[in-house]
Structure 1
Amino acid sequence: MTAELLAGIRVVEMTEVWAGPMAGSFLGDLGADVIKVESFPRNSMTRPLVAGLGAGEGEGPPYERSGIHHLSNRNKRNLTLNVRCESGAEALHRLLASADVFFEGYSAGTVERIGFGWDVLRARHPRLSYIAMPGWGAEGPYRGYVTLGSGLDSASGHTAVRGYPDRPMEDTPPIYHSDATGALTLVFAAITALLRREQTGEGSSVDLSQIEAMTWQLPGLFAEWTMNRRLPERLGNRDPHIVPHGCYRAAGGEAGPDDSWVVLAAEDDRQWAALASAAGNPEWAADGHPWATVPGRLGARDAIDGALREFAQSDTAEAIAERVQAAGAIAAPVIAPWSVLSDPQHAARQWLQTVEHPHAGVKVFAGFPWRIAPDASSWDRTCGLVGEHNAEVLGELGYSGPEIAALRQEGVIGEAYGEG
């Protein structure tokens, strides 16, 4: 079973893509009863209606086989609702009356327009904590802007300092780090709101700006400007204070003959002497050599990189790394993506999870970000089907069988896209 830290807590989630859904999964991992409310009849962005658009192999509709949707939607129950109609809105209010936390990930103002703003929630559900996680926050000139992780990546400045200095910035591929920071920040906010309710008896409203959560991940870069008036530069694999610090092409390895690389670094003179010895050139660290000191190495970065490129070409990435590590310096091969699945560290901790899904089949997914003794982390619920728990959840809220059937007939709920 999952951890039991949040056992007895009910969380209602209305989010899409990754940041919000992953936060819901984390809360479910901690033992909360997470009920994911999906829009109906419109499909979620990560539930493709056409095969090939993110849907893996398997039987059944494509929207039940999306990899990103499966990864970020474990340990939840699934309810579909058309909350824009009166009966759907009433069903959501009945659900929120039973909940402790409600969070949504739409642009600012969206839930207010459909009648679920904080003023309404506070009046009807005074013990409920509400968390909004719009990209830009609930206030300010950007409040209504819609964005995804790639937009936050750029706006935070992360894109500007990532990549190689000799390549155009537009060649830097986007990442979605902000989804991860947003997800974890929401977990902190939810637990904090629950603790506050223990003291006051009242719920809280949390305005979680994802761009602000992301920007907090870059304190050194902002300090470089605010304190030193220096714009951070793109350094590739280099470090401004450490030489050597780079990634060098090796003569083959597990990643293949043409794409094997090894990372080498030396933070101090002792590590540099070890690296020089492993490279067969102990004289690089001898007294009087221009590279023997930190200042000397900082001034000879290009020459040292050239020497280490030649050294890396003398053997496989794994052999180079093993030799340098044994000598006492920093080294590691750059592993191929598929090597994650066979990583001995993951295997020793049994981190990867094998999950069976009725439509996607048996798949291996990333595990949990923590271990909490004495509870054993587990994937109790695989990614739910569309509306899989409609009858179960609505029944808990007091709806009778005929009433649930009527909601289905009216298109308020459904178990497949295209029904409404």
Structure 2
Amino acid sequence: MSATPAPRRGPLDGLLVLDITRVVAGPYCSMILADLGARVIKIEHPSDPDYVRDFPPFVGTGDDRFSAFFAQYNRRKEGITLNLKHETGRDLLKQLVARADVLVENFRPGTMERFGVGYETLRAENPRLVYAAISGFGQTGPNALKPGFDNSGQATGGLWSMNGYPDRPPVRVGTIVGDVSATLFATIGVLAAVREAERTGLGQMVDVSQQDSVLALTENAVVKYTVDGDIAGPLGNAHPFVRPYGQFPCKDGHVFFGGYNDKLWALSCRTFGAPHLLEDPEIDTMAKRFVPEVYTRRIEPVIEDWFREYTKAELEAMAGDDIPLCAVKNIREVVEDPHIAARDMIVDVEYPGGRVDMFGTPIKLSRTHAQTRGRAPRLGEHNAEVYAELLGLDADALRAMTSMGAI
């Protein structure tokens, strides 16, 4: 007997989302919608499911073994199986689409069309359908058919070339920012298209690429090149022009310090016992401190001297709520941070094999709160309930479709 999904509450209550996605970019998009109250049905091939079900770490053993990685991006979803390579499977999808508001997929462009269930076909079944397609390089353009992964987005969107240190080769950003940036832009696009569909009765395709999404994260790199002809490169922990604004060593690790404008610099000098620096004509304005040679020779050694004898916690206490200074924390420190707990950003979800503590949602709504503590489905866990409720199929019909490989 399958588990009953957590109650769907929130601002998207009543929205039905079909999730035909794998890995992170697509599943995370539909999970955000689920957290906000949408009913999300995750559709997987019966013999070739989302392969991150086998990604570590795991909780439980034997039949209760479950991927915590999969759980983190698929909570609060129902799970069914459906084979798009089977004619009956395709017919079932069309029937589900007729009932749905949103479909999210992250196949390579053209894949859904080869299955016979591309956007134009599904739009004919439901003109108000919002169809979100997340891919490496988008649905159009000369590179549309290239395979796309997180690293592809980081590499071709420019971010990889900007990360690292100036005297070393570029370094990949240490998390899947290509996937996650596409997730966030796709979610925004879905919500905008849903609003339009509610107003006009007409859906549309939401086309989001990892490359486009990463490019949109590159801050001033584009205008720096188009205006001045400068090509952004790795800067380590430095900002392109704001100083001081970066990482500094202290007694037990590192802190971020950003006391760069005149007000913050004055507060910092007084807090750390160096008010005389405010009268120094070489560094008494923000513009002077921004000059790289002046900063390296005059400012950086002073700050390192300020911080050397203090721990991260001591420096944060000294800075208080006035000076932008905070510890550079590892994941253990973040997970155990009382402020993170107060923000409900680590949520616990119970599984038969044990508890999974995962990140919550950054979206805090004052009235219709996000719900983040539902678990992710087993493969095909909700076949009976979903197919009976939405399509009226009984147990005999499901057994027949299972035996023929359609679900």
Q: Same fold (TM over 0.5)?
A: yes
* 8 Å Cα contact 1:262-1:334 kept in structure 2: yes
* 8 Å Cα contact 1:2-1:380 kept in structure 2: no
Residue in 1 aligned with 2:393? 399
Residue in 1 aligned with 2:308? 313
* 8 Å Cα contact 2:46-2:380 kept in structure 1: no
Pairwise CA distance, 1:369: 2.4
Q: 278, 283, 296: which is aligned to 1:291?
A: 283
Q: Which runs of 5+ in 1 are unaligned?
A: 253-259, 414-420
The 2-side partners of 1:5 and 1:329 are apart by 37
**Structure 1 pair 199–247 and aligned structure 2 pair: CA distance change class (3 A):** closer
Residue in 2 aligned with 1:58? 60
TM-score (ref. length: structure 1)? 0.88
Residue in 2 aligned with 1:8? 14
Alignment of 1:196-275 (within 5 A): 196-252=196-252, 260-275=253-268
* 8 Å Cα contact 1:13-1:35 kept in structure 2: yes
Pairwise CA distance, 1:40: 2.3
Pairwise CA distance, 1:2: 4.6
TM-score (ref. length: structure 2)? 0.91
Pairwise CA distance, 1:174: 4.6
* 8 Å Cα contact 1:2-1:377 kept in structure 2: no
Aligned residue type for 1:234: P
* 8 Å Cα contact 1:33-1:76 kept in structure 2: yes
Alignment of 1:21-100 (within 5 A): 21-48=27-54, 53-60=55-62, 65-100=66-101
Q: 333, 337, 356: which is aligned to 2:350?
A: 356
Pairwise CA distance, 1:309: 2.1
The 1-side partners of 2:261 and 2:284 are apart by 10
Aligned residue type for 2:258: A
Aligned residue type for 2:374: R
The 1-side partners of 2:340 and 2:208 are apart by 32
* 8 Å Cα contact 1:153-1:174 kept in structure 2: no
The 2-side partners of 1:261 and 1:159 are apart by 24
Pairwise CA distance, 1:107: 0.7
**Structure 1 pair 391–116 and aligned structure 2 pair: CA distance change class (3 A):** same
**Structure 1 pair 371–275 and aligned structure 2 pair: CA distance change class (3 A):** closer
Pairwise CA distance, 1:305: 1.6
The 2-side partners of 1:55 and 1:237 are apart by 31
* 8 Å Cα contact 2:134-2:209 kept in structure 1: yes
Superposed CA deviations along residues 296-330 of structure 1, whole A, max 9, x for unmatched, are: 3233121222232233221212212322447x432
Pairwise CA distance, 1:65: 2.0
The 2-side partners of 1:385 and 1:348 are apart by 31
**Structure 1 pair 43–121 and aligned structure 2 pair: CA distance change class (3 A):** closer
Q: Which runs of 5+ in 2 are unaligned?
A: 1-6
Cα RMSD, aligned residues only: 2.1
Aligned residue type for 1:197: A
Identity %: 29
Residue in 2 aligned with 1:331? 325
**Structure 1 pair 99–236 and aligned structure 2 pair: CA distance change class (3 A):** same
Pairwise CA distance, 1:110: 0.5
Alignment of 1:142-153 (within 5 A): 142-153=143-154
Query: Does 2:11 correspond to 1:18?
Result: no
Superposed CA deviations along residues 149-203 of structure 1, whole A, max 9, x for unmatched, are: 121011110111122212221x445532232222222222222222222333232
Tell me the SS of whatever aligns to 2:255: strand
* 8 Å Cα contact 2:350-2:375 kept in structure 1: yes
Q: How many residues end up aligned between the 2 structures?
A: 397
Superposed CA deviations along residues 342-379 of structure 1, whole A, max 9, x for unmatched, are: 212222233321110123x1121111222334333323
Superposed CA deviations along residues 284-304 of structure 1, whole A, max 9, x for unmatched, are: 22243x222223323312122
The farther-off stretch of 172-181 and 21-30 is 172-181
Aligned residue type for 1:294: M
Tell me the SS of whatever aligns to 1:364: strand
Aligned residue type for 1:263: F
Aligned residue type for 2:195: L
The 1-side partners of 2:256 and 2:195 are apart by 44
Residue in 1 aligned with 2:165? 164
The 1-side partners of 2:364 and 2:319 are apart by 33
Residue in 2 aligned with 1:141? 142
